[in-house]
Structure 1
Amino acid sequence: MIPQPEGLPRRIGEGDRDAGVRRLQEAYAEGHLSHEEMDAGLHRALTATTHGELVAALRVLPAEPADTTSTIGAVSGRIQRRGVWRVPRFLKVESALGRVRLDLSRAVIEHAVVDIELHVGTGSARITVPRDATVEFEALRAGWKDTRYRPRRRSGAGGPTIRISGAMGMGRLKIRHARR
């Protein structure tokens, strides 16, 4: 993939568009959207060419209550979220044994601050944050290896703050900013 120059809107791929369409269809099937809202959202999602256009198309989705905590858990295996997905205000991730991969670079982030609480027993975790995000992880306890994070030299203004807390047992957390 050819890197895009700074300042240009980030283009989306078919996978991102398909994930957005799926989210709209699921919300309609669950009764959260009217037929008209779904049609308008689908039209906008199917014609979207940039990340910003796709995020705008998904704004018809119902918002989660601000104090809701979503939990993703697994006893063993892999936990993975990537592509276009709605990041809740509070996200709790629990994994006894396995890898955790959270990619927020193309996610729909509607909150200025997102709290991620990690509880990983044995295994690694990698979180990719948007280019303009600010990362705080002082509240994270690492049992075995220190967290790897290199802040961006040029921080973009207006990005979300991602606060990471919890505990890493026998593994390492790696945090990186998206390249594009």
Structure 2
Amino acid sequence: MISREAAVGVAPQARVSDDDRDKAVHLLQDGFADGRLSASELERRLELALTAHSHDNLLAVISDLTIDMVHLTPRSGRIRRDGDWRVPRLLRIDSEYGKVRLDLSQALIRHPEVDIELWLTYGSAAIILPAGASANADGARTEWGSVTCKAADHRRPGKLHVHITGELAYGRLTIRNSRT
């Protein structure tokens, strides 16, 4: 379990964005799907999450649910994950000048769906998915770079689905399936 502030990466009093609310809704839905919330509890919490104004309000709704998140914040340099590494439910990477390579093809992935947020000012990113996995990169924006996704963009039953969001202002993002 991570700290409350690390869970969202901002001050608790900060106003909540629609993206923050969406993430809380997904976490609540996962809690219901896992049997940790009843239907009535899910309904009550969804209403609170969708009307939350601050991160404190939002965290009060989801604080008892496990948040499987890793937030990497190197200023520059390379981020490389490959081989047998554990992929969290949410991976957030903030880097001004870094280059990112995430190879999920041999990683330990406990979730059927993974969210990756990339906030790279001048860096580029490559994401390699396991064979048969799908990805949706519609939420990834770039000003001067490009976003290329060679993986299927629709979920396949029993296969990993990765949702990529964020901004690569001057970099490019490439997503493909493993060749092995």
**Counterpart of 1:80 in structure 2: which amino acid?**
R
| Residue 70 of structure 1: aligned partner | 70
Q: Secondary structure at the match of 1:135?
A: strand
* Structure 1 residues 123-142: Cα deviation after superposition (integer angstroms, max 9, x where no partner): 21101011121101111111
CA contact (8 A) 1:132 1:157 kept: no
Consecutive unaligned residues in structure 2, runs of 5 or more: 1-64
Q: Secondary structure at the match of 2:74?
A: strand
| Residue 14 of structure 2: aligned partner | none
**Counterpart of 1:129 in structure 2: which amino acid?**
L
CA contact (8 A) 2:114 2:162 kept: yes
Offset of 1:145 from its aligned partner? Answer: 1.8
| Residue 23 of structure 2: aligned partner | none
- Matching of residues 1-180 of structure 1 within 5 Å: 66-151=66-151, 157-180=157-180
CA contact (8 A) 1:129 1:175 kept: yes
Distance 1:66 1:130, change over 3 A: farther
Offset of 1:98 from its aligned partner? Answer: 2.1
CA RMSD of aligned residues (A): 1.9
| Residue 24 of structure 2: aligned partner | none
TM-score (norm 2): 0.59
Give distance in 1, aligned partners of 2:160 and 2:123: 27
Give distance in 2, aligned partners of 1:86 and 1:66: 16
Give distance in 1, aligned partners of 2:168 and 2:156: 29
Give distance in 1, aligned partners of 2:126 and 2:145: 13
Consecutive unaligned residues in structure 1, runs of 5 or more: 1-64
Aligned length: 115
**Counterpart of 2:131 in structure 1: which amino acid?**
R
Offset of 1:68 from its aligned partner? Answer: 2.9
CA contact (8 A) 1:113 1:160 kept: yes
**Counterpart of 1:106 in structure 2: which amino acid?**
Q
* Structure 1 residues 53-108: Cα deviation after superposition (integer angstroms, max 9, x where no partner): xxxxxxxxxxxx74232112211111111110010001101111021111100000
TM-score (norm 1): 0.59
Offset of 1:168 from its aligned partner? Answer: 0.6
Give distance in 1, aligned partners of 2:73 and 2:149: 24
Larger strand percent: 1
* Structure 1 residues 17-71: Cα deviation after superposition (integer angstroms, max 9, x where no partner): xxxxxxxxxxxxxxxxxxxxxxxxxxxxxxxxxxxxxxxxxxxxxxxx7423211
Give distance in 1, aligned partners of 2:158 and 2:133: 8
CA contact (8 A) 2:144 2:169 kept: yes
Q: Secondary structure at the match of 2:179?
A: coil
Structure 1 segments (4+ residues) deviating >6 Å: none
